[in-house]
Structure 1
Amino acid sequence: MRTKTKILLAEDEPSLGQIVKESLETRGFEVVFCKDGKEAEAKYHESSPQLMVLDVMMPKMDGFTLAREIRRHDKDIPIIFLTAKSQTHDVVEGFTLGGNDYLKKPFSMEELIVRIENLLKTEHNNQDETECNIGKYVFNPKNQSLRYMDDESIALTHRESQLLLHLNANRNAVLDRSFILKKLWQNDDFFSGRSMDVFISRLRKKLKKDKSIQIVNIRGYGYKLIC
């Protein structure tokens, strides 16, 4: 069964948000719908989406602030801003904060869907296309998916997929902590290190069905995928 792409949608106008959500779901996407920035930040960590569509003007936390927080520990997830603002400096700010695209209201659903598909296509083209076995799991970096034996595939985020790709490439050897932080997080500071620890914990949970697989913390050096 084909794994659905998960999109996090943050929009404080309930009617518009529901229309966008239902339209995306009819195109085969899985949608996590949030009505303010704080809820969206929490759902991002809980649901591991593969793309985010963020309204700029939201209560509790605006879209720009949310994007800034997300980009502190995730440089790769595609972000599309939705906004009624039309000033050039607003558009510039959105891209400066790490946005990948910017759509002004009112917009057509067809245009939003095309932009989403283009961003996802770009992301997929950057993935290694070869499936590989990790114990009893089949890992597909291109589709960002992990399947245990004959179970349904589970989706990985871009960063989870890239981290697992590097761990597997160094299977049974130590993956240098500083190297992978600079490679995937662009720096190896304390906050990036804590973020990577979270992603390692997520991978452990997703690989837990095969007891022969371990991701071991080699204190002071990095991590080792034992399989």
Structure 2
Amino acid sequence: MQYKLLLVEDDEDLAVHLSKYLQIRGFFTGLAGDGQRARQCLAEGPYDLVLVDIMMPGEDGFSLAAHLKKSYPQLPFLFLSARNQKEDILKGLGLGADDYMIKPFDAEELVLRIHNILRRSIGVIAEMERYDLGTYQFRFNDLMLIGTSGEKVLTEKEGKLLKMLCLRKNHLLNRAEVLHELWGEPDFFNGRSLDVFISRLRKYLSDDPGIRIESIRGVGFRLREV
């Protein structure tokens, strides 16, 4: 498995060289030069770990860390900073960072620390039900649908319906089974409600033309990924 790292660093030379080294060591590495760009990257696709500088133009690393803990509570991150004062280190760790490394640092040591963090978080990651749908990722545990245009929090019933479709991806999902599972009674009105929910999911997934929910009249639905 190739882990995806997001390196948030405004020093372009350091960012490029460190990114190349991490790629040599087997990681996919995305780059962001400031906090705003980092937020955009996180919204566009899932990452397994974020490396955060503190002193950056605009939003600093501490503010970005607070955003990470609020919006991506399961996502581990560590600080890479020239700020070596005890109060800065304690503040960083207090914000929930998994580690704090002081510049200049040894790149090989950084890789070892990254692996340690990923090993610690793998249990949490394994428990997170995640489904990849083209350019989307659906996290059932927190009902989060993440796509290129941002994030959408689903209702509980929308999430359960999308999970059923994901589990049967490219195969028929029987309409009566969905009604029994989610509504308890396959009557006319519940059937109309199901059609409304299917329409909503189609709208949520509309940014990716390779993903579609097909209706098989009177029988059920099929989530297709082409």
* Superposition TM-score, scaled by structure 2 size: 0.61
1:13 matched residue in structure 2: 11
Q: Secondary structure at the match of 1:211?
A: strand
State how far apart, in whole Å, the 2-side matches of 1:73 and 1:112 are: 25
Residue 160 (structure 1) aligned to one of 139, 142, 145: 139
1:63 matched residue in structure 2: 61
Query: Superposition pairs for residues 1-227 of structure 1, below 5 Å?
Result: 2=1, 4-128=2-126, 141=129, 146=132, 160=139, 162-163=141-142, 167=160, 171=164, 172=178, 173=181, 201=204, 209=211, 211=213
State how far apart, in whole Å, the 2-side matches of 1:54 and 1:43 are: 13
State how far apart, in whole Å, the 1-side matches of 2:38 and 2:88 are: 21
AA aligned opposite 1:69: H
State how far apart, in whole Å, the 1-side matches of 2:212 and 2:42 are: 27
State how far apart, in whole Å, the 2-side matches of 1:9 and 1:28 are: 15
Q: Deviations over 1:170-189 (max 9, x none)?
A: 85555xxxxxxxxxxxxxxx
Change beyond 3 A, Cα 1:155–1:147: closer
Following TM superposition, by how much is the alpha carbon of 1:99 offset from its aligned partner in structure 2, in angstroms? Answer: 1.2
Change beyond 3 A, Cα 1:52–1:127: closer
Q: Deviations over 1:142-201 (max 9, x none)?
A: xx66488xxxxx895xx826447x948x85555xxxxxxxxxxxxxxxxxxxxxxxxxx5
Following TM superposition, by how much is the alpha carbon of 1:211 offset from its aligned partner in structure 2, in angstroms? Answer: 2.5
Q: Is there any run of 5+ residues in structure 2 with no aligned partner, and where?
A: 144-158, 165-177, 183-203, 216-221
Q: Is there any run of 5+ residues in structure 1 with no aligned partner, and where?
A: 130-139, 149-153, 175-200, 214-225
AA aligned opposite 1:209: I
Q: Secondary structure at the match of 1:40?
A: helix
AA aligned opposite 2:30: V
Structure 1's consecutive aligned runs of 4 or more residues displaced over 2 angstroms after TM superposition are 125-129, 144-148, 159-164, 170-174, 208-213
2:200 matched residue in structure 1: none
Q: How many residues align?
A: 170
Greater Rg, structure 1 or structure 2? 2
Following TM superposition, by how much is the alpha carbon of 1:49 offset from its aligned partner in structure 2, in angstroms? Answer: 1.5
State how far apart, in whole Å, the 1-side matches of 2:3 and 2:42 are: 14
Contact 2:77 2:97 in 1 (8 A): yes
Following TM superposition, by how much is the alpha carbon of 1:125 offset from its aligned partner in structure 2, in angstroms? Answer: 2.6
State how far apart, in whole Å, the 2-side matches of 1:89 and 1:120 are: 26
Change beyond 3 A, Cα 1:205–1:112: farther
AA aligned opposite 2:211: K
State how far apart, in whole Å, the 2-side matches of 1:28 and 1:155 are: 24
State how far apart, in whole Å, the 1-side matches of 2:111 and 2:140 are: 24
* Superposition TM-score, scaled by structure 1 size: 0.61
Change beyond 3 A, Cα 1:146–1:69: closer
Query: What CA RMSD, in Å, does the superposition of the two structures yield over aligned residues?
Result: 3.7
State how far apart, in whole Å, the 2-side matches of 1:155 and 1:123 are: 22
2:191 matched residue in structure 1: none
Change beyond 3 A, Cα 1:161–1:86: farther
Identity among equivalent positions (%) equals: 29
Change beyond 3 A, Cα 1:99–1:212: farther
